[in-house]
Amino acid sequence: MNARVLNLLKSVTSLELKQKKSHHFQEDLPAKAINNSLSRQKNTRVLNNFFFRNRDIYISKHNRFADYPLHTHTFLEMNYMLHGSATEIVDDKTLILHAGDLLLLDVGSKHAIKALSEDDILINILFREQTISVNFLSDLRRNNSVLYDFLLSHTVSNKSAKVDYLLFQKKTGSEIKETIEHIIDEYFLKKDFSNSIIKSYLSILLTQLVREYPLVNNEHASKQQKLITEILKKVSTEYKSITLNQLAQQYNYSENYLSNLFKQGVGKTFSDILTQERLIQAHNLISSTTMPITIIMEQVGISNKTFFYKKYKQFYHSTPGKDRKSVES
């Protein structure tokens, strides 16, 4: 890890000094980052997508010396124990994180963190499902990974079967530590193109977790599972023109049957997944090129401007124009 970044993370901030003196939590977020209406409804503070205004992934060091109150969030979160240890309470379960452990928290999971000492460095990595492409999810599904069900679980109505967190404990000789340190270095050194590089590292990290940790089971994928994986792959490469009707003809199923099969296996409709992939591809072009928005829409297969802007705002909680300006600035 870069020595300058490590020293930055170890240094005691002004807010941490206040917590060290009082041993009480000091508010570390602006009012805009907290959804007050949802907080009242859920009786706990709800952190919103404020963190992703001009970036896809947000990273911070957890403040030490005071208990962090119970909270939840509208995004996915990783807690990585860089040094020392931490005690977290997740959905009323007590978890102990040691150096090298990684905790993946789903949208809506409630958790609190006990006070960290000066030697404890806990890193928060925040990201949304919008960061994860359909192509990547299809790879997870093909490998029958626990991560596939986890990353899509909050879209399924069966809440009782939902797992709100996954704990990955450190393994000797693991590549995960090196990948996470690359992510942290890129974020805090603020180099050119760091957002794109961090997104790539995140996909690498999740893939390494698939490789190094247990699968759901060792049984061979069913015929239906293989079919859904094939469809997800096709969406990832043919998103501009692919249709459910074409797929139904190709696989010799009725369109209605294939639609229901896909929804049952993925947790989202084919139309939702296709739109999601098109928006991700559009966002990538908006954030990495100067191509006009109308041309980008054409490139990803969306012709209706009103539909595009509406879905983009719902998906990214921003507009194409704002995202383009944030990149240019």
- Whether residues 74 and 202 share a domain: the answer is yes
Q: How far apart are CA 299 and CA 297, in angstroms?
A: 5
Q: Quick check: is 10 in a domain?
A: yes
For 138, how many CA atoms within 13 A lie in the half-sphere containing its CB?
19
Q: Which of 62-71, 246-255, 278-287, 291-300 has the lowest mean pLDDT?
A: 278-287
- Whether residues 1 and 117 share a domain: the answer is yes
When comparing pLDDT for 163 and 103, which is higher? 103
Q: What is the pLDDT of residues 211-241, one digit of tens each?
A: 776 554 444 456 777 788 788 878 888 999 9
Instruction: Quote the DSSP letter at residue 51.
Output: G
- From 219, 253, 285, the end of a domain falls on 219
Task: Find the CATH number of the domain harbouring 314.
Answer: 1.10.10.60
Q: Quick check: is 45 in a domain?
A: yes
Which residues lie closer than 8 Å to 207 by C-beta, 6 or more apart? 136, 139
Quick one: pLDDT at residue 151?
Answer: 64
Domain extent at residue 39: 1-219
Q: Which of 22-31, 122-131, 174-183 has the lowest mean pLDDT?
A: 122-131
Task: Find the CATH number of the domain harbouring 212.
Answer: 2.60.120.280
Quickly state the pLDDT bin for 159 (edges 50, 70, 90): very low
Q: Which two tokens stand for residue 75?
A: 């995004």
Instruction: Quote the DSSP letter at residue 180.
Output: H
- Whether residues 283 and 171 share a domain: the answer is no
Share of the chain above pLDDT 70, in %: 85
Q: Where are the beta strands (DSSP E) in the chain?
A: 45-47, 57-61, 68-73, 76-83, 85-90, 93-98, 102-105, 111-113, 121-127, 165-168
- Whether residues 183 and 282 share a domain: the answer is no
Q: What is the pLDDT of residues 277-290, one digit of tens each?
A: 899 889 888 888 88
Quickly state the pLDDT bin for 90 (edges 50, 70, 90): very high
- Whether residues 190 and 109 share a domain: the answer is yes
C-alpha closest to that of 125 among 145, 111, 105: 105
User: In the chain, how many domains are there?
Assistant: 2
C-alpha closest to that of 211 among 132, 125, 145, 167: 145
Quick one: pLDDT at residue 130?
Answer: 65
When comparing pLDDT for 90 and 133, which is higher? 90
Range 258-266 average pLDDT: 85
Q: How far apart are CA 5 and CA 183, in angstroms?
A: 11
- Whether residues 10 and 92 share a domain: the answer is yes
User: Which position has the token pair 């009725």?
Assistant: 254
Quick one: pLDDT at residue 152?
Answer: 53
Q: Quick check: is 134 in a domain?
A: yes
Q: Quick check: is 224 in a domain?
A: no
Contacts 24+ apart (CB under 8 A), 50-53: 51/75, 51/126, 52/126, 52/128, 52/316, 52/317, 52/318, 53/318, 53/326
Q: How far apart are CA 192 and CA 70, in angstroms?
A: 36
